Structure 1
Amino acid sequence: MPGGPACLSCPVTPGPGDRRGAHPEQCERTHVVRNSLDSAALDAAVEDVHRAGMPGLFAEVRDGDQVWRGAAGVADVDTGRPVTVGMRHRVGSITKTFTAAAVLQQVEAGRIGLDTPIGRYLPELVPGERGEAITVRMLINHTSGLAEYFPYAYPSLKAFPALANTGPKSLDDHRFTRFDHVELIEMGVTAPAVGAPGGTPGVYSNTNYLLLTQLLGQVTGTTAERYITRDVIGRAGLRDTGFPAGPDIDGPHSRLYEAWFGMIDPPRDYSVYDMSWVGPSASLISTVTDLNRFYGLLLAGEIVSPSSLAQMQRTVPVVSQEGRTGDYGLGLYPMEAAGEDTFWGHGGTVWGGGALAMTRADGKRQMAVAVNLQRWNRLDSAGKPQPHPIDDALAALHRVAMYG
């Protein structure tokens, strides 16, 4: 690919009173390692993901006061413009942790009951017996049984999760569509249920979180975006995180390339996109540094109370949109390897972009990674995604970032 390499890594020690640190404009490619951060291994791991086929990625790993930041590849495949670690990025469903934290703040204030039926708050959106059976907790941990709305909003994806019978046409058709969130919720509520309220395993559904944002708006007297911006993003002191005002990403950012399982070839840039299709449940723009700061403060009990954090870490089995079953709490889920410490965080994808942020339970080791290509796996004859070298390379990066 054309263009020179990005500055691959710098160990950064934050200055006094600065939990974020600063990335110098120029750096030497030498490292002084005083702890378990293996800068050379991290350098190699991000490069391996790029070599495996990822156009560009960037990451930040923290261990106590020590910080490694790295980037590899390009932000624009046409110009060769390199990715840089400080770029702003659409982080998708990582937004759900912010939304869940906002709801828990309102639980602490006595305005929302975790085990109160959603029909007591929003009877017009979830009426009748279902409204009485589905609690706020069930929405946050995806055990409501409400279906995902997006296959109904995107006609060419109606067959999802039967991927071979889907197509990417709707992605272009709706690039600038301004969706009404109440209409999206109605699509999910009126669709066939995917489970009984409170039943497990739950099924991951954006309908749940759009309902939560409506709930936040009702009990706070403002929009969910404004409340989350003021009381979650503001409380965390995040400098580069916010909801988009339009289809563009403000500030330095990468293009976002969507392949839709090989049906878009070459992958197409969807970095300019109206995010009302997910709204304040999955539309945040952030940086890897801000994500690490947020999750560090959350796990330290500084965004919600320690008792609320304990509620967030109570998990149930939930089936992801990829069909895998894993543990899910209230806007958080755990990751762990055999014999290793548990990390908490969330991942997210949008059209063309993805991110993952994980923080060790003690808050000292953190990882945030952003990538600019999605759905890179082509389908086999049975319509299942085929393994791709990117999968193994990303898994290796996550291992070295979390466990050294």
Structure 2
Amino acid sequence: MDGVHRAGVPGVFAEVRDAGRTWRGASGVADVDTGRPVGPGMRQRVGSITKTFTAAAVMQQVERGRIDLDAPIGGYLPRLVPGERGRKITVRMLLNHTSGIPDYIRYAFPSLQAFPSGAASKSLDDNRFRQFRPAELIEMGLAAPPAGEPGATPGVYSNTNYLLLGQLLEQVTGATAEEYITRNVIERAGLRHTAFPTGPRIKGPHSRMYEALHGVIDPPRDYSVYNMSWVMTGAGLVSTMEDLNRFYGKLLDGGVVTRSSLAQMQRTVPVVALDGSTIEYGLGLHKVETEGCGTFWGHDGTVWGAGTTSLTRADGKRRMSVAINLMRWNEPDASGKPQHHPIDDALATLHRQAMCGDGDPRTKAVPRLSPSLP
């Protein structure tokens, strides 16, 4: 973690569990102006790690017979996904990103399309306190050119899918998706510091969250106060590293969904992540194979200024959750493509050490799945 801080991240904190032992630590600062140190128990906007919670909630409704994984989404949400698309796209395709529905982020934040010009950050500032409706974001995704044919692989990672799943949960449970996930996933897993935000500020101890937007914002700007309505059931949760390790341990042990539901969640397909790499993705779960220390399951997440990775080994004994308070640090080259940065190598070393007990610098970093530049 000191290496990640030295490479340029203001603050990094983590928890690692291994066969009953727990290690927590932090390096750097939570506030670059005051020098306030970062702490291992701080709360974090965990971004697309939220997708595992949403997927688990959907699987609970599958267990109760209220949702059919292979039923068309148009049968549940005919107004949101009408016509042929609604008939072809199934609930499973939303969960594993093979729906062909593109991401709405670049349409909700239109100035991002100006990258790498200085105007690219305008939408971030304009939307700090905007209250988005899920339906308007879903409409943006559905109105955009399709990312592929429904059911085709590789799938294409899209936040639109998980906003639709949030609307599906509301349709079949009669509660808001956030209320249902809180009662039936967060509370069932015994998490004490995990919640959907009810306003733009994070409750409890947390770090400031700095966004560089690939060099467009220099120095990086604090976006820790933000209305997360633009991505709630896709990436809205606030949590701690302790809670994330507990959650994935419970999930893989059958404590959140049944074993048969977990088996469905672990059926992977190739999916193109937002960094352009192809990964193995199940139903709200990312599969990571390591050299010599086993298969891990989990997710990562980024929002403006905050990045988190949480992975648990298949046997549940080794768990790691790592948080950082700087995002999109890679400045572009002459062609506009983000360049490699020492932070990338430092994070790869930290992830390897947290997962396997060694810090092989040749190990690639876990792909970034959650909201990023299109």
**Smaller-chain TM-score range?**
over 0.9
What whole-Å deviation, never above 9, does each CA across 1:303-328 have from its counterpart, x for those lacking one? 00001101111100101111111110
Greater gyration radius = 1
Counterpart residue type for residue 124 of structure 1: R
C-alpha distance in 2, partners of 1:72/1:186? 42
Percent identity over the alignment? 70
Q: 1:125 matched to which residue of 2?
A: 80
Q: 2:369 matched to which residue of 1?
A: none
- Report if aligned partners of 1:57, 1:372 keep a CA contact under 8 Å in 2: yes
Aligned pair 1:146/2:113, yes or no? no
C-alpha distance in 2, partners of 1:403/1:155? 41
Structure 1 residue aligned with 2:120, among 167, 172, 182? 167
C-alpha distance in 1, partners of 2:34/2:346? 25
What whole-Å deviation, never above 9, does each CA across 1:110-141 have from its counterpart, x for those lacking one? 00000000000001011001000000000000
Report the number of matched residues: 357
RMSD: 1.1
Comparing 107-116 with 272-281, which one deviates more in the overlay?
272-281
Counterpart residue type for residue 99 of structure 2: S
Runs of at least 4 residues off by over 4 Å: 162-166
The offset of 1:339, in angstroms, is 3.4
C-alpha distance in 1, partners of 2:330/2:293? 29
Structure 1 residue aligned with 2:340, among 383, 387, 398? 387
Residues 228-243 of structure 1: pairs in structure 2 closer than 5 A: 228-243=181-196
Counterpart residue type for residue 34 of structure 2: T
The SS at the match of 1:62 is strand
C-alpha distance in 1, partners of 2:20/2:119? 47
C-alpha distance in 2, partners of 1:258/1:231? 33
The offset of 1:219, in angstroms, is 0.3
The SS at the match of 1:129 is helix
Structure 1 residue aligned with 2:221, among 247, 251, 268? 268
For structure 2, the 5+ residue unaligned runs are 358-374
Q: 1:43 matched to which residue of 2?
A: none
The offset of 1:382, in angstroms, is 1.6
The offset of 1:164, in angstroms, is 6.3
C-alpha distance in 2, partners of 1:148/1:132? 20
Aligned pair 1:321/2:274, yes or no? yes
The offset of 1:372, in angstroms, is 0.1
Q: Structure 1-normalised TM-score?
A: 0.87
The offset of 1:340, in angstroms, is 3.0
C-alpha distance in 2, partners of 1:312/1:164? 40
The SS at the match of 1:281 is helix
The offset of 1:65, in angstroms, is 1.0
Q: 1:83 matched to which residue of 2?
A: 38
Q: 1:15 matched to which residue of 2?
A: none
What whole-Å deviation, never above 9, does each CA across 1:140-173 have from its counterpart, x for those lacking one? 00000001111111110236xx756971111001
- Report if aligned partners of 1:344, 1:358 keep a CA contact under 8 Å in 2: yes
Q: 2:250 matched to which residue of 1?
A: 297
- Report if aligned partners of 1:164, 1:379 keep a CA contact under 8 Å in 2: no
- Report if aligned partners of 2:113, 2:120 keep a CA contact under 8 Å in 1: no
Comparing 146-155 with 266-275, which one deviates more in the overlay?
146-155
C-alpha distance in 2, partners of 1:332/1:278? 18
- Report if aligned partners of 1:242, 1:285 keep a CA contact under 8 Å in 2: yes
C-alpha distance in 1, partners of 2:271/2:97? 7
Counterpart residue type for residue 392 of structure 1: D
C-alpha distance in 1, partners of 2:329/2:196? 27
Aligned pair 1:200/2:137, yes or no? no
The SS at the match of 1:167 is helix
C-alpha distance in 2, partners of 1:340/1:132? 42
Q: Structure 2-normalised TM-score?
A: 0.94
Q: 2:360 matched to which residue of 1?
A: none
For structure 1, the 5+ residue unaligned runs are 1-45
What whole-Å deviation, never above 9, does each CA across 1:378-400 have from its counterpart, x for those lacking one? 00112111111110011000111
